[in-house]
Structure 1
Amino acid sequence: MASNTNPVFQTAKYPPSIDLPAPYPPNTTFPLQFSPVSASASLSAKLAGIRQLSLNGEIRRLLDTHGAIYFSNLCLASAEEFSQFTHAFGFVPHEDIGNPVRRTILANNVATANEGPNTRPVYPHNEFGLSPHYPAYVFFYCASAPETGGETPINNSIVLYKRLKDEFPEFIDEIEKKGIKYQLTYPNTSRTQTESPGNSVLQAYGQHVHDSDDAETTRAKIEREIRRLPTATWEWVDQSPTNALGDLRTWQVLPAVRPHTRTGQPAFFNNAVSRFLSAVDAGTLDPPHLTKEGRYRPPAFYGDGGLVPRKYFDAAVRIVQETRVLVKWRMGDVVLLDNHAVQHGREPWTGERRLLASLWDDVK
């Protein structure tokens, strides 16, 4: 175990954890827990311990084996200390391109996890699973713990793939051949809008746009950013005298199954279940996929545009619920997820709760 080679951190059993089923070996704990050997360890000592574990390959070995690591009793006191902690791993910072979720930057490579209301869950997904540009690792940090609820559900994408292939091989055959198609709409609202948990077109793609740019120049700059995602197509909609730029609608057709980049294990890596459950909530699962307000909110489709039979997504939701872990938060703690192998979400909560996120890529 890592505690034998690192004087700062030791491994322990995380109470909510489970043992992963096949294709993982027996007694594979998910997630694994790390905690400082000494409760009085300084921040600098903790950072040095993480650097050692990362440099000698232990962190990646443990992520390959377990998929997630919960760091308890860290006592990180701020977004700045969380930023220092994540930088100690030596990963490469991830750059968001076209993020549909609004986040507020709080420190270097640290932002709020999600600005959605506490009454709404976030459904299981791989981070940026609806994009060809996604992070390898996701850190979450508890800046303030909720009174009740607020857990982060995590489930293993490799286990989900195997279970679905065993039960519905025809579904896996279809999505491996066709992929999954996603549609997103970015409204042309303020660059600083905070009314919606989703991003506006300027927040998602307008990093090079100036306030003095006219609509044609703005559109060209935004389209230049979209082209950085080679699988994206788009159109401008709802243009009017009061909305010269228009709202942006994008599509991505992407693999729904992707091999883990280090282990080669196939994973159900996508945002299809999340999009399905969101459409169920909105009452837009069936054509024409319109909300009561007339907004188009479709689920994810097969890559050829065909509707995925509901029974497959219902089965995926059941398997997720059977195999997930609810990460219960304490202030100052961190969870590190291997995004290739783990999906995550969010449960509703009461009281003050603040979760911060940091996204990283593999060392180049």
Structure 2
Amino acid sequence: MAYKLISRYYKKLSQQSRMQWRTWMYKRYCFNSQSYRDYSSAFLQNESPLPELSVPVQLAGRKYLPGSWHHQFPQQLNNPQPDFPHVVTPSNTTDAANLSLTDWATVVRQYLDDNLTKYGAVLVRSLPIQNETHFSQLVSQLKYNPQSYKGGIGNRHSKVTNVMTASDEPKECSIELHNEMAYSPNWSDLIIFYCKIPPALGHGGHTCIAKVSDYVDRLGQDITQPFLKRGLRYQNYLFSQGSVPYKYITWQQSFQTKEKAEVEEFCTNAGYTYKWDDNENLTYYIDLPAVVNHSKTSKLSWFNQIYQHSPTYTREHPSFEVADLPLDKHPLQCYFGDGGEISEDILFYMRSVNWQVAVGFEWQAGDVLFLDNVLVQHSRLSFEGPRKVYASYLPVEYLARDTLRK
């Protein structure tokens, strides 16, 4: 009898009211009963694998891509793999049109909780997101704790709440594969990218991704063991505003302040050793391991920026072409944890191996890409023409943060 009454009531509802009813029912039962756990699959479906790149993407010899001249550097970018990135879309267009961003955030959050660690990269297409404000609303409703980019050394700026430009590096520059903020004790677990304006086909601008497990397997123990044993030292040298001889980040931009006392407090709390020179330029460093425990699985994962955080990167950057700097005045330095030098031959070999396992895909407007930052690296290739991609960086605190580096 009760079922008949509910069915009769449901039939009288408008289409919009039916959607609201369905959403309430799913939320009511899917989160409070194991038998109705799979809420997200009612609204999201796994798409076919992404197609091959429509235009071959040259890597070897690419200008401003560090190490592209190395004899082991791959000639071209790999196509997407069958489930990397893993692609999902709304199950039907009615859902996409009628669910609010808050509802979609609930759906996406559960899908990520269930699947992100499995796939490493989840690409969600056809959500009702048209601009960075919508993206900000989605990120906020995912109910993660937002992370400040204070102390980050990427060239980017804030747009709206929890949203930054993905990168403000020059178009002609290719950003290397990396785990975001692996040089910091306060890294991001989750990276989210939103594409507002995709680059035109054949004009570059691919966001490339690589599985860390594929990369480290190819490196081999002869390369990895010394880093595991000796650890790493990340050192930065940041000029003060007005004294920088090139267009690159200053300590005021990195630490989001003009007050030296605030910088010193940040460095002290985070465990950095620091010093100022007579021109108020800042040198600071920290010793970290080459691996971390994944915050959800607790498994050890290779997690560092060994070759990315070095003058071998900045020397092949367009902003440094006219800057005649000694190596210790480059903004990025990486040593063994005991202060020993790392061979440039090893750095360029590591680059080549990393790009051998990278894949690329072609953005569509409205795409949202979720990356497990410990399991998957990302990069951006140089491009021509318009391209607008935004990013959000989030710590997912499955465990207390101070346990993760042990």
Task: Look up the match of 1:307.
Answer: 341
Structure whose residues are more often helix by fraction: 2
Aligned partner letter, 2:183: L
CA displacement at 1:63 relative to structure 2: 1.1
Give the Cα separation in 2 of the matches to 1:70 and 1:33.
5
**1:292/1:80 Cα in 2 relative to 1: closer, same or farther (>3 Å)?**
same
Q: Does 1:15 align with 2:56?
A: no
Q: Does 1:146 align with 2:178?
A: no
SS at 2:307's partner residue? helix
Q: Does 1:177 align with 2:229?
A: yes
Task: Look up the match of 1:348.
Answer: 382
Give the Cα separation in 1 of the matches to 2:337 and 2:156.
29
The TM-score, its normalising length taken from structure 1, stands at: 0.80
Give the Cα separation in 1 of the matches to 2:92 and 2:309.
43
Give the Cα separation in 2 of the matches to 1:93 and 1:3.
26
- Which of 195, 199, 208 matches 2:249? 199
Measured against aligned partners, the alpha-carbon deviations of 1:200-237 in whole angstroms (never above 9, x if no partner) come to 22222254x5xxxxxxxx3323201222212x111112
Q: Does 1:62 align with 2:115?
A: yes
Which has the larger displacement, 254-263 or 38-47? 38-47
Instruction: Give me the CA root mean square deviation.
Output: 2.9
Q: Does 1:33 align with 2:87?
A: yes
CA displacement at 1:53 relative to structure 2: 4.6
Q: Does structure 2 conserve the Cα–Cα contact (< 8 Å) formed by 1:35 and 1:72?
A: yes
Q: Does structure 2 conserve the Cα–Cα contact (< 8 Å) formed by 1:6 and 1:49?
A: no
Q: Does 1:155 align with 2:155?
A: no
Task: Look up the match of 2:372.
Answer: 338
Task: Look up the match of 2:135.
Answer: 82
Which has the larger displacement, 247-256 or 258-267? 258-267
CA displacement at 1:252 relative to structure 2: 1.9
Q: Does structure 2 conserve the Cα–Cα contact (< 8 Å) formed by 1:31 and 1:68?
A: yes
SS at 1:274's partner residue? coil
Task: Look up the match of 2:269.
Answer: 228
Task: Look up the match of 1:357.
Answer: 391
Structure exhibiting the larger radius of gyration computed from Cα positions: 2
SS at 1:172's partner residue? helix
Give the Cα separation in 2 of the matches to 1:222 and 1:178.
28
Give the Cα separation in 2 of the matches to 1:85 and 1:30.
23
CA displacement at 1:259 relative to structure 2: 2.6
Give the Cα separation in 2 of the matches to 1:336 and 1:88.
15
Task: Look up the match of 1:93.
Answer: 146
SS at 1:77's partner residue? coil
**1:48/1:142 Cα in 2 relative to 1: closer, same or farther (>3 Å)?**
same
Q: Percent identity?
A: 23
Give the Cα separation in 1 of the matches to 2:39 and 2:281.
56
**1:89/1:14 Cα in 2 relative to 1: closer, same or farther (>3 Å)?**
farther
Aligned partner letter, 1:202: Q
Q: Does structure 2 conserve the Cα–Cα contact (< 8 Å) formed by 1:180 and 1:300?
A: yes
**1:33/1:274 Cα in 2 relative to 1: closer, same or farther (>3 Å)?**
same
SS at 2:182's partner residue? coil
- Which of 291, 304, 317 matches 1:270? 304
**1:5/1:36 Cα in 2 relative to 1: closer, same or farther (>3 Å)?**
closer
Which has the larger displacement, 112-121 or 69-78? 69-78
Aligned partner letter, 1:98: G
CA displacement at 1:115 relative to structure 2: 0.9
The TM-score, its normalising length taken from structure 2, stands at: 0.72
Q: Does structure 1 conserve the Cα–Cα contact (< 8 Å) formed by 2:39 and 2:107?
A: no
**1:135/1:303 Cα in 2 relative to 1: closer, same or farther (>3 Å)?**
same
Q: 4+ runs of 1 displaced by more than 3 Å?
A: 2-5, 43-47
CA displacement at 1:94 relative to structure 2: 0.8
Which has the larger displacement, 303-312 or 65-74? 303-312
